[in-house]
Amino acid sequence: MKGMGTKPMEGQSNMMEYVIMTFFIFVVIVALILFLYNWQVSQSSLDSAIEFSERAVDMAGSVMNSLYFTKGTTMVVDPMLDDSKLMALNATEGVCDMLENVFGSGWFVEVRLIGDEGAEEVDCTSGNYPDCNKWSLCAQPDRESAYFNLPVNVYRKVAERTDIGIMTVGVYSE
């Protein structure tokens, strides 16, 4: 009769082990599902950020190889920005809509000359050209964007000289 008292306790102990083991397996499966879901979400946002940056890099290359912005002829592209072309684009109404057919939508270009420190930036208009040092095309300051700053040479047509500038090329998030 001594052995009879231990059998029900062993059965109850085995049942508790089974319940605890099932609970831990369930917790591990749920944790694994949550981990994989979060990993997938972070991967998709990383892929989106990479695509966004690649689009900005492609836009920078397109601008530097476009006859719309650079000094050159129809046969040869000179990778130097032409201030008279920048001025013409900057002064043209609806230029962004026209250039959208060439470069796609949701982009901007800004060129600033690097001059004397402390010199004030002067936006180029038809009234102050060539006494200006900043051109801005298709800029929308309130929108989120990815952009790159690149050093560029800017040919100053009126003065027949080359200045150094910073070109900011970017794309807006959709």
Span 139-148, average pLDDT: 83
Is 0.95 surpassed by the pTM of this model?
A: no
Range of the domain at 94: 49-172
User: Does pLDDT of 138 surpass 70?
Assistant: yes
**Residue 16 included in any domain:** no
Judge if the upstream peptide bond of residue 151 is cis by omega within 30 degrees of 0.
no
Q: What is the number of other CB atoms lying within 10 angstroms of the CB of residue 84? A: 14
What pLDDT is attached to residue 33? 94
Buried b (16+ CB within 10 A) or exposed e, 132-161: bbbbbbbeeeeeebbbeeeebebbeeeeee
**Residue 78 included in any domain:** yes
What pLDDT is attached to residue 1? 46
**Residue 1 included in any domain:** no
Domain count, the chain: 1
How confident is the model over 2-61, as pLDDT tens digits? 555 556 677 777 888 888 999 999 999 999 999 999 888 888 878 877 887 888 888 888
Alpha carbon distance 174, 41 (integer Å): 19
**Residue 22 included in any domain:** no
Alpha carbon distance 28, 5 (integer Å): 36
Q: Read off the tokens for 64.
A: 């530097």
**Residue 29 included in any domain:** no
**Residue 35 included in any domain:** no
How confident is the model over 59-112, as pLDDT tens digits? 888 888 888 888 876 666 667 888 888 888 888 888 888 888 888 888 898 999
**Residue 11 included in any domain:** no
**Residue 71 included in any domain:** yes
Span 131-137, average pLDDT: 87
Higher pLDDT, 169 or 116: 169
